[in-house]
Structure 1
């Protein structure tokens, strides 16, 4: 283990190698290097492995590729494998379509507290702007600049405040936002021991609220979620969601309702099976 290892970044992905390449690049230029990366891969083909191998050759960061056979949407299962594989005491979760600003890891590490989890946000890019993102744009940090985004066709909205670089403004907006601090898999961090204590993700769950549910169990177990949506910044590349289906959403809703009603702190369908 790296002696200065402070965090494991867990990036979930499925067959989006071009985007993963950009996401990995964004972590290679972070202001701190005290972390390892685990790519939690829910059954991608060889193109994704090629991207990870090429990145691993040229980065100083430790990169681990955790993969499972493609058998439909099984993100919860691969995330549990990634948690078990991680070497750090602190975990930062994000997705393979979210490009992290260069202070992303440093911000999560700076704000972490015992018995707390950090709930970040993301700024959604339009389809046209998403297509203009490349390593040069990320290197220059243009995709976090309001003026550049507007010039490229991104509509100017209040949500652009999510890209602020002012700590005072970020703290104020975090304080007044009506959005609850939850476990949102695109940008969230917690202590490894706190997610292990609730047995990780519920592997029965498909797409839709599967990350919120583990957060709800953590809350029932005494973990407080802190709002940092204006502090830890990432931009989200545009895409469709072909894996979204009503049957899965209904099942997930039922599981979440039970978790809330029973104030569950543990799942029998997590890392350790009952």
Structure 2
């Protein structure tokens, strides 16, 4: 099994079975076959276990379920456990509310390169359209079609080019976007050895920027970033974020400031406690 897996896809989740089901159907549509999904579960209850066990029997890719007890928002901790569980030497990270387009995995494989990590974006959907998406619209890829989305209430915006851009336009937009090529938890990939070298995520960090801080330490270690926000496409489903607090965001900003100021590479609060 290990030799046939080109890429491990880590998906974070917490008690969100309706969204996770849509996401797992998205991975069943991929045009690249040699990948595994590693679900980083921050303490979900039985319905998530039941959903994953059902999908393990019906989809064409292997699924690992890495779970920990519910101890509040501890995404950094479960992501570190998921990194260790990955069978591939290359890791793509996304979330349990992000449906991948059919070329999502193959695009990350296409652009991967030693000494780099890849920075993708997302296309945010409003809640009403998020609820409309079904297994059928995922398999037909209708849910990625701008015209279908407009018929269902999506407003016109330059951001819609994330879904419609192809070929030359896609490459040009990747080059000219003012958005920084940061590590984005919903859509980024890199080499497992590079993540282990910086000791993974800082487990002091709760909601708000722990993914960016990982990328900042990768850059401090000499890894460069590559922008693919118009090439690797996922739909971000809307939902409330009860775990978002000013305290956690402020604490994380202070850690990121220290990471930049001191050029921190290896966090002492990561996979191995130093």
Residue 240 of structure 2 corresponds to which residue in structure 1? 240
Q: If the length of structure 1 is used for normalisation, what is the TM-score?
A: 0.99
Query: Structure 2 regions of 5+ residues with no counterpart?
Result: none
1:136-163 CA distance string (max 9 Å, x none):
0101101111100000001111000111
Aligned equivalent of 1:179: 179
Q: RMSD value over aligned CA atoms?
A: 0.8
The number of equivalent residue pairs is 274
Report Cα offsets for 1:79-138 as digits up to 9, x if no partner. Answer: 000000111000000000000000000000001000100000000001111110110010
1:229 Cα deviation after fit: 0.2
1:68 equivalent in structure 2: 68
**Any residues of structure 2 matched to 1:215-234 within 5 Å, and which?**
215-234=215-234
Q: Which 5+ residue runs of structure 1 have no aligned equivalent?
A: none
Quote the Cα distance in structure 1 between the aligned partners of 2:211 and 2:135: 29
Residue equivalent to 2:155: 155
CA contact (8 A) 2:199 2:267 kept: yes
1:117-136 correspondence runs (5 A): 117-136=117-136
Is the counterpart of residue 83 in structure 1 residue 83 in structure 2? Answer: yes
Q: Name 1:201's counterpart in structure 2.
A: 201
Shift of 1:201: 0.1
Q: Which residue does 1:191 correspond to in 2?
A: 191
CA distances 1:16-36 after superposition (whole Å, capped 9, x unpaired): 011101101100110011101
CA distance in 2, matches of 1:50, 1:159: 36
Matching residue of 2:35 = 35
Matched with 2:96 is 96
SS of residue in 1 equivalent to 2:154 = coil
Rounded Cα–Cα distance in structure 2 between residues aligned with 1:176 and 1:60: 37
